[in-house]
A and B are shown apart, each in its own frame.
Chain A
Amino acid sequence: MAEFSLRINGKSHTVEAAPDTPLLWVLRDHLKLVGTKYGCGIAQCGACTVHLDGTAIRSCQLPVSSAEDSEITTIEGLSENGDHPVQKAWLEHDVPQCGYCQAGQIMSAAALLERNPSPSDEEIESAMNGNICRCGTYTRIKAAIKTASNSKIA
């Protein structure tokens, strides 16, 4: 066990954990930030996606010991009041079915739009292909990303 200092959603946290503990479980078990989901544990489903210095990463693969010097953003910190353009677009299109994968989908989409504000269909598919939705809301997710992308341009 060791102590780690993390910057998450603009706040500092100190956690005690084994150095190889994935960030995912530190977020969930230690900090009770449960919006970041466990789906596969091997970076195949995207449910655990968070931002590390603005880039979408799979938190199930990042040891807490490697997360200390970065700014981490989770779904809880994506916006103050749940009004990030991607979150608003998700509500407008009423995307979720079971909803379990959607935090990861939103985090991937938000990171995509941050670096590419008006992505093509192919760019959307490419950026989102690592996020599985078992309920099959893919067409709505794509429509919501387009809405969010337009609203950012406006």
Chain B
Amino acid sequence: MSKVRTGIGRRSFIKSVSIAGGGLMIGFNWMACKRAAEDGSEEMVMEMPDEWFELNGYLKIGDNGIVTIYSPNPEIGQNVKTSMPMIVAEELDVDWDNVIVEQAPLNTDIFTRQLAGGSQSIRQGWESLRTAGATARQMLLTAAANEWEVPISELSVEKGMINHKGSKRSIGYGEIAKAAAQIEVPEEVELKNNDDFKIIGTSRKNVDAKKIVTGQPLYGLDTYKDGMLIAMVVQPPAFGMEFKSMDAERVKEMPGITDVFTIDTYPEDMEKEWSDVAAFSKLVVIVGESTWQVMEAKKELKVEWDLNPELTKQVEILEKSAGMDDVSGLESTDIHTSLMAEIGSKNAEVVRRDGDPEKAFQNASRVIERTYTCPFLAHNCMEPMNFFADATDEKAELYGPIQTPEFAEKSVNKRLGLELEDIDIQMSRMGGGFGRRLYGHFLVEAAVISQKMGKPIKLVYTREDDMTNGVYRPAYHVTYRAALDGNNKLTAFHVNAGGIPESPLFANRFPAGAIDNYLAESWTLESNISVGAFRAPRSNFIAGAEQSFLDELAEEMGQDPIQFRLDLLDRAKKDPVGEENDYDAARYAGVLEMVRDKAGWENGNSSKARGVSAYYCHNSYVAQILDMTVENNEPLIDKVTCAVDCGIVVNPDAAKNMVEGGTIDGIGHALYSEMTFKEGIPQQSNFDKYRLIRHREAPTTIDVHFVDNGIDPTGLGEPPFPPIMGALANALYKATGKRFYKQPFISQMNGETKELKT
């Protein structure tokens, strides 16, 4: 057992009472007490208590022993709404069948880091969730000890039942909860040993599954309130343009249309949060009674757009310096491609240098150089951006899908001039996040529109609005070079990485630390296309590129690709080069050895082409082996074997689901997806042109294995996503005899395969 300071003071206890009523809009819902039983076949219906007792901001206990646990973090499909309360329930020592889960509202007095991002919810919530459960348990035990006048050390707990062996007495949490709520919050509590876990490490069903499969309202887009109007935006058709004028008179007369006006979401003088990213601040807004009426009006509205000089200036300078004619500031993908190759990569800054790489390259017998690229990507959450707002000059009530409620609250505070305590943000379940909903401009837009209208509104983006709105995954470009000596030994490694408008380089990640002479360089190019974090930012490209290059390097050196990596990791473990290396070489090697074993690498099925890859990001390690064939120029993926080291796995089956999903997501984006531009105009605006992976293209089997090492949990939402792109590229090479350097890989298939650039 370990002792931790609770940090739960009387103040947060008292403050927490304010959420006892269930918040302003999302009153306690009787559906919350129905959920699928663990075998999935039955529905449990719990009887509600007459009275609830809050022991701290994370939980309340009913007089009948039912426990409500508030899940603090936003749910984007990573399943924290189940796994975070499981951690609280573990330390509380209750029967999971008696637990009801509710989404907590934003409350910075009680919760820390109510954010979905960086795969950090479980890792950073681990101790506070455990402490919340253990603190309440301690208060319940103290209350029982007081009542029975026995030492607390003589008490034990089994599934919410406190027992005193000596006097053969027992009492349920529900019966003692009232007395426990009067107990002073302990300053220090003991946490369980890992060996004593009864809930953590066991598979528990998604607490919202029953509602999902029966179509109950869960998502922001499902919000309907009395008197609520529907609002939609009309944004410029191209990056680099802005609103000039409109003729709205006819549209205002259309059936159901209430108003048409413009807003400026983020005025220039507004102090912005990092999350206030928006390609288009000045928007036309159409408000009406129903979604279809507003959609119809949107098609009819005539708007004139102009070049935005502020947004085109830097791009013009860049293009002129590249010797381009006819510069407009309206960017195109073909110009991006040549700018990255000709300007960006030649203006890099050194980020890390070990040994004397320049000399090693001079003395090399052979230099292998390869360049890898990827396009912009749109997040394409299945639920398009939306938010409900009821904002006046006094207060704002906001409900919907947001990954960063705490930052959005600050933005609303500044934009609407409301005090933080007068802004109530509640989080809906989200139809996907992937980083897109870190950037809450849509929430601010909804608040601005509602305040202007003096009415509750739901802002709805069409799919086209969503896909052409920016906040994309950047386009990246990386060149790797390796120096080999006369004995075919690796003597130097050089990575030159950049992108529009950010670099994907992680200079201190593997193979840094494993090679004496190492050079890492970075560069960026300006753009007026807005970008944002996309599942495993930067890693989502550089992992696949690096792992493809290592595969090709191993082949050039006549080595097995797994053993080649293991030998490098062995060097990094025993005698690391430099002190800034940010990975644990032993854990890295561990997943490679595990995947080699589980997939039967050494005696594998020869009828399939196999590729391997391993990567470290978000504090976790993932290795994958992909088996495939190519028939009629179509990739057919048979099986993916995954080995994952994310420390303690809280909810194993749900964690497997996350690894399966990340794997499919990575295959899909590397193979099929891209966002391209012509004269600033996104060339894909819906799923007819923007290709996402579908049923037929998914692997037949995904086999997931977790390393069991008892280390406190690390990230899982993102780590399975980046490396699979390398395993895929390496398997494609085995299947076709051709290396794949340019994402999406499908552009190199279906007939024309581009020549390798050496």
Contacts and interface: CB of A to CB of B under 8 A. Distances in A.
Interface of A: 1, 17-18, 21-22, 25, 28-30, 32-42, 44-45, 47, 74-76, 78, 81-83, 87-88, 90-103, 106, 121, 124-126, 128-142
B35 to A, nearest CB: 10
23 contacts: A17-B292, A18-B293, A25-B291, A34-B221, A36-B215, A37-B383, A41-B686, A75-B214, A75-B215, A81-B43, A82-B43, A87-B214, A94-B205, A96-B213, A98-B431, A98-B433, A101-B382, A129-B696, A130-B694, A132-B692, A134-B380, A139-B660, A142-B695
A99 B77 contact: yes
A97 B77 contact: yes
Interface stretch (B107-115, B145-153, B661-669): B661-669
A-B pairs with lowest CB-CB distance, top 3: A35-B215, A100-B431, A98-B77
B695 A128 contact: yes
Contact of B698 (A1, A22, A82, A139): A139
B630 interface: no
Given A44-B686, A132-B382, A97 B658 contact: yes
Given A81-B43, A88-B41, A129-B695, A94 B653 contact: yes
Nearest to B379: A134
Contacts of A47: 382
Contacts of A87: 213-214
Contacts of A142: 695
Contact of B432 (A30, A93, A129, A134): A134
A136 B215 contact: no
Nearest to B76: A98
A94, A121, A125, A128 interface centre (most CB from chain B within 10 Å): A94
Contacts of B381: 98, 100, 134
A134 B702 contact: no
B654 interface: yes
A41 B296 CA distance: 13
A18 to B, nearest CB: 7
B665 A135 contact: yes
Nearest to A100: B431
Contacts of B215: 33-36, 74-76, 103
A138 B632 CA distance: 23
B36 A91 contact: yes
Contacts of A75: 213-215
B709 interface: no
A131 to B, nearest CB: 7
A103 to B, nearest CB: 5
Contact of A92 (B40, B77, B660, B700): B40
A82 B210 contact: yes
Contacts, number: 202
A87 B215 CA distance: 11
Nearest to A104: B382
Contacts of B296: 18
B416 interface: no
Nearest to B699: A139
A131 B693 CA distance: 10
Contacts of B291: 25, 28-29, 38
B40 A91 contact: yes
A75 B662 CA distance: 27
Given A35-B215, A94-B653, A137 B661 contact: yes
B183 interface: no
B688 interface: yes
Interface string B223-263: 01000001000000000000000000000000100000000
Contacts of A141: 695
B491 interface: no
B217 A34 contact: yes
B290 A90 contact: no
B39 A92 contact: yes
A74 to B, nearest CB: 7
A82 B214 CA distance: 6
A35 B214 contact: yes
A25, A37, A75, A99 interface centre (most CB from chain B within 10 Å): A99
Contacts of A92: 39-41
A19 to B, nearest CB: 11
B429 interface: yes
B622 to A, nearest CB: 15
Contacts of A45: 382, 687
Given A97-B79, A102-B212, A136 B698 contact: yes
A41 B463 CA distance: 7
Contacts of B433: 98
B145 to A, nearest CB: 39
A11 to B, nearest CB: 15
B206 interface: yes
A39 B432 CA distance: 12
Contact of A94 (B214, B216, B657): B657
B217, B296, B432 interface centre (most CB from chain A within 10 Å): B432
A132 B664 CA distance: 12
A112 B692 CA distance: 23
Nearest to B660: A139
Contacts of B213: 75, 82, 87, 90-91, 96, 102-103, 106
Contact of A131 (B203, B434, B695): B695
Nearest to B218: A99
A41 to B, nearest CB: 6
A138 B292 contact: no
B664 A100 contact: no
Contacts of B219: 34, 37, 100
Given A18-B293, A98-B429, A98-B432, A139 B701 contact: yes
Interface string B525-546: 0000000000000000000000
Contacts of A82: 43, 210, 213-214
A42 B687 contact: yes
A136 B694 contact: no
A8 to B, nearest CB: 12
A28 B544 CA distance: 42
A70 B588 CA distance: 59
A34, A76, A102 interface centre (most CB from chain B within 10 Å): A34
A137 B665 CA distance: 9
Contacts of B693: 136, 138
A125 B290 contact: no
Contacts of A125: 695-696
Given A41-B463, A75-B213, 8 more contacts: A18-B296, A21-B292, A35-B214, A38-B291, A41-B462, A121-B700, A125-B696, A139-B702
A48 B473 CA distance: 27
Contacts of B290: 17, 21, 25, 29-30
B699 A129 contact: no
B668 A91 contact: no
Contact of B668 (A35, A76, A78, A136): A136
A144 to B, nearest CB: 10
A139 B221 CA distance: 27
B224 A32 contact: yes
A102 B657 CA distance: 15
B504 interface: no
B694 A132 contact: yes
B382 A39 contact: yes
B382 A137 contact: no
Given A22-B292, A94-B205, A96-B209, A37 B431 contact: yes
A88 B40 contact: yes
Contact of A40 (B205, B293, B686, B700): B686
A60 B40 CA distance: 31
B430 interface: yes
B222 interface: yes
A39 to B, nearest CB: 5
Given A18-B292, A41-B463, A91-B205, A135 B214 contact: no
A121 B292 CA distance: 38
B463 A140 contact: no
Given A35-B215, A100-B219, A94 B430 contact: no
